[in-house]
Amino acid sequence: MVSIGDMAPEARIELSDGARRDVTDYRGKPLVIYFYPKDDTPGCTTEAKDFSVLAGEFAAADVTVLGVSRDTAASHAKFSKKHALAIALVSDSDGSLCGAFGVWVEKSMYGRSYMGIERATFLIAGDGRIARIWRKVKVKGHAESVLGAAKALVSP
């Protein structure tokens, strides 16, 4: 599990358009990586739309936002198109990025335990260090909170 001040884990990622990059490719400017359980579910859709509404403000602050789930790139592309999302989505189909950030956790619902993605967000500074972590995220107002922290990180 990563902590504030740690270097962000290095990992190869696949974007919804099929492009592959390394997390380290984003160094030099702040990066927001938010993890969510599943495409096109109510909370995940709201969160993606909230980040999309603020995409222009993140871009104006020179901050990249990546949404990550274990859904496939094709699922992400469909989800993004359906909801006109303005943020990039990352497919972590093998779970390596979730594991590296410590968000693949045991969950329970209706008395049944299972493994799944903890809704969490990481703000990574331009030097690649974790600047802020939000765990067990509540969707309402979250994107605005992240934007505020990101702007504070880049303000002189």
Per-residue pLDDT at 156: 65
DSSP class of residue 119 equals -
pLDDT at 155 over 80: no
Task: Give 106-124 pLDDT, tens digit per residue.
Answer: 888 888 998 999 999 999 9
Establish whether 44 is a catalytic residue: yes
| Strand 120-124 with 130-134, pairing | antiparallel
Q: Is residue 88 within 8 Å of 52, Cβ to Cβ?
A: no
Per-residue pLDDT at 108: 85
When the pLDDT of each residue in the chain is averaged and rounded to a whole number, the result is 93
Q: For the chain, how big is the Rg over CA atoms in Å?
A: 14
Per-residue pLDDT at 134: 97
Per-residue pLDDT at 71: 95
pLDDT at 17 over 90: no
Task: Give 65-107 pLDDT, tens digit per residue.
Answer: 999 999 999 999 999 999 999 999 999 989 999 999 999 998 8
What would you measure as the largest C-alpha separation in the chain, in angstroms? 49
DSSP class of residue 129 equals B
Catalytic hit among 8, 23, 32, 44: 44
